[in-house]
Copies of this chain bind each other. A is one copy, B any other.
Amino acid sequence: MSEKTWRLSPDRCFAAEPTQRAVARDLYAAVKDLPLIAPHGHVPPALLADPDARLGTPAELFIIPDHYILRMLYSQGVALEELGVPRRDGAAVETDHRRIWQRFAEHFHLFRATPTGLWLADELATLFGVEERLTGASAQRIYDHLEAQLARPEFTPRALLNRFGIEVLCTTDAATDPLDHHRKLHAEGLTHIRPTFRPDAVVNLDNPTWRTQIDALSAVSGVDVVDYASYVRALEQRRAAFKQLGALATDHAALTPYTARLSTHEADAIFQRALHGQADAADAVAFTGHMLMEMARMSIEDGLVMQLHVGSLRNHHDVLFTHFGPDMGADIPIATEWTRNLRPLLNAYGADPRFRLILFTLDESTYGRELAPLAGHYPAVRLGPPWWFFDSVNGMRRFFDRVIETAGLYNTAGFNDDTRAFASIPSRHDVWRRVSCDWLAGLVVQGMLAEDEAAEMAYECAYGLAKRAYCA
């Protein structure tokens, strides 16, 4: 059986209707090569700090670290061990990367009509020059091809960084991270790679390693954390250290957006209970709610943009977590209430011109009902792009259709790729640019926007909004 040639449509993600497609093409042509602003993601800074770093084997690049891939294969009965995912107990897993790749290729049809399928196609065909479709039959030929490409100097992370046209790339880093990689990058003048301050592990008292993290916080900050006051000082020290290495923002993940200020006395009492291993679930909720207020207060003082990601119930599958740890595709969203939960924080800080708060949801029913009305009122609020499962063609279309009429485009924060997979960055931005241009083209052909307005808005979607939201 002869394999199919892989020919990506130059018009992918564009409406079939010819007048809309023509406008979409024009809008897209003007923005497709703009520099990439990547203000939120999970690329490991080590990959860029070391000029000799390599992307690894095709299995290491595309499969083993990517929970989008793992979960889909797992859902159809492929064991994570067969995909080479290391077990916490050190039990044997597949080590033959060609066999891992073969399994992936044989299941590649599972990704049809998914964003992962769209990104993979673009990476393989556009970035790596693969010319036949990935199937069980073509798997080993394509592995050979990828291996050869990955050995070339054009495919080192540093080379790709330039080729991708990345203007800013923010990583996400624990509050306790010593930032050695970032220091190295900074010293080398790669100041467009920036850290982001993510303090969840030292803020959420129900984190099982919280106590250890506090010790690490003491060590890295040089502040001996013994009570709430020293804890706050240590956090402030870390924020300053992040800022010094170019940080633009903080990032906070919470199960709910509950916010409420505690008195210093209450905060300290909870903190002491936590230090002594005596904090309960209610303490954890109260403390996180308080610390979100406190982080907003600090943002006003130091100018770091505050990002809030809400609604993921992590590690839903206990056995899987026990065997493989977090980020295996078993984080499942829950419904989210924003209007009441965020009210204390917004009443305190939402109108402060020094404050910017970017909100991310996994509950699309809140787009039009809560988030767009909040962003369309509070000066501090911007809405982040569709997150995670919704970073997809339909997810983006729903975002535009439900958010913009109420919030306006200018209260959104453009795109971020949120990826761990460095090589997928251009593919992800490309989907966003295509979908946003197609959405604008739809408004033009329905007589609801002039073409010059649409062109300005396409530029905003591709570049301006993210730039202003994070770098202004």
In the bound complex, residues from chain B placing their C-beta under 8 Å from that of A456 are 109
Does A195 sit at the interface, judged by CB under 8 A? no
Q: How far is the CB of A466 from chain B (nearest CB, A)?
A: 17
Contacting residues of chain A (403-456) with chain B, CB-CB under 8 angstroms = 404-411, 442-443, 445-450, 452-453, 456
Given A114-B404, A405-B395, A447-B13, A346:B317 Cβ within 8 A? yes
Does A210 sit at the interface, judged by CB under 8 A? no
Contacting residues of chain A (20-73) with chain B, CB-CB under 8 angstroms = 20, 71-72
In the bound complex, residues from chain B placing their C-beta under 8 Å from that of A86 are none
Cα-based distance from A401 to B364 in the complex (angstroms): 13
Q: How far is the CB of A11 from chain B (nearest CB, A)?
A: 5
Does A12 sit at the interface, judged by CB under 8 A? yes
Contacting residues of chain A (361-379) with chain B, CB-CB under 8 angstroms = 362-365, 368-370, 372-379
In the bound complex, residues from chain B placing their C-beta under 8 Å from that of A329 are 376-377
Chain B: CB-nearest residue to A431:
B448
Cα-based distance from A390 to B72 in the complex (angstroms): 26
Does A187 sit at the interface, judged by CB under 8 A? no
Query: Do the beta carbons of B445 and A75 come within 8 Å of each other?
Result: no
Query: Do the beta carbons of A113 and B457 come within 8 Å of each other?
Result: yes
Q: How far is the CB of A443 from chain B (nearest CB, A)?
A: 6
In the bound complex, residues from chain B placing their C-beta under 8 Å from that of A369 are 333-335, 362-365
Cα-based distance from A105 to B334 in the complex (angstroms): 42
Query: Residue A77 contacts which of B16, B316, B318, B353 (CB distance < 8 angstroms)?
Result: B353
Cα-based distance from A381 to B115 in the complex (angstroms): 21
In the bound complex, residues from chain B placing their C-beta under 8 Å from that of A316 are 339, 343, 346-347, 374, 377
Interface residues on A, range: 35 or more
Cα-based distance from A320 to B350 in the complex (angstroms): 11
Query: Do the beta carbons of B14 and A332 come within 8 Å of each other?
Result: no
Does A262 sit at the interface, judged by CB under 8 A? no
Does A9 sit at the interface, judged by CB under 8 A? yes
In the bound complex, residues from chain B placing their C-beta under 8 Å from that of A335 are 335, 337, 365, 369
Query: Do the beta carbons of B389 and A394 come within 8 Å of each other?
Result: no
Given A17-B17, A362-B369, A320:B351 Cβ within 8 A? yes
In the bound complex, residues from chain B placing their C-beta under 8 Å from that of A334 are 337, 339-340, 369-370
Query: Do the beta carbons of B351 and A14 come within 8 Å of each other?
Result: no
Does A330 sit at the interface, judged by CB under 8 A? yes
Query: Do the beta carbons of B9 and A447 come within 8 Å of each other?
Result: yes
Given A317-B378, A330-B377, A377-B316, A76:B112 Cβ within 8 A? no
* Interface positions of A (Cβ within 8 A of B): 4, 8-17, 19-20, 71-72, 74-77, 109-115, 118, 133, 313, 316-320, 329-335, 337, 339-340, 343, 346-347, 350-351, 353, 362-365, 368-370, 372-379, 381, 389-390, 392-395, 401-402, 404-411, 442-443, 445-450, 452-453, 456-457
Known pairs A17-B17, A76-B410, A113-B405. 10 more at Cβ < 8 A?
A16-B442, A75-B408, A112-B453, A113-B409, A329-B376, A330-B377, A335-B365, A335-B369, A389-B406, A392-B406
Q: Can you report 24 A-B residue pairs in the complex whose CB atoms are below 8 A from each other?
A: A8-B447, A14-B446, A14-B447, A71-B377, A74-B377, A75-B376, A112-B457, A114-B405, A313-B340, A316-B347, A317-B346, A317-B377, A320-B351, A332-B374, A333-B373, A334-B369, A335-B335, A335-B369, A368-B395, A372-B389, A373-B389, A389-B405, A392-B406, A394-B402
